[in-house]
């Protein structure tokens, strides 16, 4: 494994956190999150638990700037974020990355693993020599050999594809990484390796990490504190 990413030079202050403040989300008539507040500070690992359907993944999508909440706000280190996806300035949106449970649902089947990892850099028109160098660095970090990098998703295992998705998530050196059941589909050794890569990255970058897992032992080992979303209200929309 190559050395972890060098930390950014920005000094870290106590106000540096990814914050969902009084967030409300409803799908049609169903209120899933009703005034939920959750923060993830730089350097900490927050575990998010709660019964199936209580809104954990929805909250992750809101924090990842993929889903616009119906109420409340998201801020990154005190900067309010008003839009979602490409409406957010690139310098802000690349501060948060997400790793989902299913790498197959998250990966474009037409791309080689190299192009999959490079995708977020090419989307911001990063110079190609730097892209190739960063892909090689990350492939080494997550344990993907050169022969695997030329293959497309259908020709690699779920574990290998999740490693590529992790590399892609880290490509912009995010300050916050959200892991939504990211190790659930993996065998024990791949799970341990993915968790170790994330922990090394977190230490090097002083990143904040949010973890959703139904694996209580993993949650206990991984999280500095655990937030239970079970209190979130699921009720008909007003």
Rounded least distance, CB 63 to ligand ATP, Å: 12
If phi over 0 gives left and psi between -120 and 50 gives alpha, with beta otherwise, what is residue 65?
A: left
The CA-CA-CA angle for residues 32, 228, 190, to 5°, reads 100
Asked if residues 117 and 164 have their Cβ atoms less than 8 Å apart, the reply is yes
For ligand ATP, which is the closer residue by CB, 43 or 50?
50
For ligand ATP, which is the closer residue by CB, 49 or 149?
49
In this structure, what are the phi and psi dihedrals at residue 209, rounded to the nearest 5 degrees? -125, 135
DSSP-derived letter for residue 55 is S
Asked if 82 interacts with ligand ATP (CB under 6 A), we say no
Asked if residues 1 and 141 have their Cβ atoms less than 8 Å apart, the reply is yes
For ligand ATP, which is the closer residue by CB, 91 or 236?
236
For the range 6-12, what are the long-range contacts, defined as Cβ-Cβ under 8 Å and sequence gap of 24 or more? Answer: 6/204, 7/204, 7/205, 7/206, 8/173, 8/175, 8/205, 12/42, 12/43, 12/206
Asked if residues 175 and 167 have their Cβ atoms less than 8 Å apart, the reply is no
For ligand ATP, which is the closer residue by CB, 29 or 110?
29
Interacting span for ligand ATP (CB under 6 A) from 6-14, 46-54, 155-163, 191-199: 46-54
Q: Judged by CB under 6 A, which of 3, 7, 35, 53 binds ligand ATP?
A: 53
Rounded least distance, CB 150 to ligand ATP, Å: 33
Q: Judged by CB under 6 A, which of 32, 113, 171, 182 binds ligand ATP?
A: 32
91 three-class SS: helix
Q: Judged by CB under 6 A, which of 42, 56, 163, 168 binds ligand ATP?
A: 56
Interacting span for ligand ATP (CB under 6 A) from 56-64, 119-127, 167-175, 197-205: 56-64
Tokens 């690699």 correspond to what residue? Answer: 156
Q: Judged by CB under 6 A, which of 47, 55, 69, 72 binds ligand ATP?
A: 55
Interacting span for ligand ATP (CB under 6 A) from 6-14, 45-53, 123-131, 217-225: 45-53
What residues make contact with ligand ATP under the rule CB under 6 A?
27, 32, 50, 52-58
């Amino acid at each position: 494994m190559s050395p972890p990413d060098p930390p950014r030079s920005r000094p870290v202050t106590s106000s540096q956190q990814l914050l969902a403040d009084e967030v409300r989300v409803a799908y049609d008539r169903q209120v899933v999150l009703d005034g939920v507040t959750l923060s993830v500070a730089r350097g900490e690992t927050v575990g998010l638990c709660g019964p199936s359907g209580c809104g954990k993944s929805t909250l992750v999508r809101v924090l990842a700037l993929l889903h616009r909440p119906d109420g409340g706000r998201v801020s990154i280190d005190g900067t309010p974020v008003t839009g979602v996806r490409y409406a957010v300035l690139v310098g802000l949106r690349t501060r948060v990355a997400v790793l989902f449970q299913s790498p197959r649902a998250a990966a474009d089947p037409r791309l080689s693993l190299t192009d999959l990892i490079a995708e977020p850099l090419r989307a911001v028109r990063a110079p190609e020599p730097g892209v190739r160098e960063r892909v090689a660095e990350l492939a080494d970090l997550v344990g993907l050999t050169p022969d695997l990098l030329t293959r497309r998703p259908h020709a690699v295992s779920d574990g290998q594809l999740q490693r590529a998705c992790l590399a892609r998530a880290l490509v912009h050196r995010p300050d916050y990484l959200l892991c939504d059941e990211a190790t659930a589909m993996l065998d024990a050794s791949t799970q341990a390796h993915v968790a170790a890569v994330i922990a090394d990255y977190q230490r090097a970058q002083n990143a904040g990490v949010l973890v959703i897992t139904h694996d209580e032992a993993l949650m206990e080992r991984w999280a500095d504190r655990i937030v239970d979303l079970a209190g979130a209200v699921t009720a008909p929309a007003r």
